[in-house]
Amino acid sequence: MKIQVEKGQDKPFLPDGRHTVEITDIEEGTSEHQNVPFFAVRFENEDGFVSQRFYNSPAGLPIILGLYEAVGIEPEAGKDLDTKQLLGKQLSIEVGDRSYTDPASGNERTLRQASGFQGV
């Protein structure tokens, strides 16, 4: 069997801890279970990467605003934020695992995630 490795897939996940990273990719979508819009950010440096989903919901908005503030973009009432503004920006993130119960299967799942966004 041959396994294709595309550009960007040749890096491991970032280990636990704080890392300075660059936002190298953004994908937009809708959650599988709740139909909530989200964007997925790839945080990357020379040591590896981690991807994180940000849900455009009342509960997710404070996290999204914190991400924008960490990269130096100040949100303003009445003005839309564009996810394309994030590409190429640098920030500091905390990487770790988070466990949750999958609503579809009831099984516990663990995700590697980014949190604790800070400017650099």
The CATH architecture annotation of domain 17-118 reads Beta Barrel (2.40)
Coil, strand or helix at 95: strand
Q: Nearest Cα to 93, choosing from 35, 52, 46, 36?
A: 52
Record the pTM: 0.86
Domain ranges of the chain: 17-118
Q: Which amino acid, one-letter code, is at 21?
A: V
Neighbour-count burial of 24, counting CB atoms closer than 10 A to its CB (0-12 exposed, 13-18 middle, 19+ buried): middle
pLDDT tens-digit readout, 57-100: 999 999 999 999 999 999 999 999 999 999 999 999 999 999 98
| 80/16 Cα distance (integer angstroms) | 33
Confidence band of 9 (pLDDT split at 50, 70, 90): low
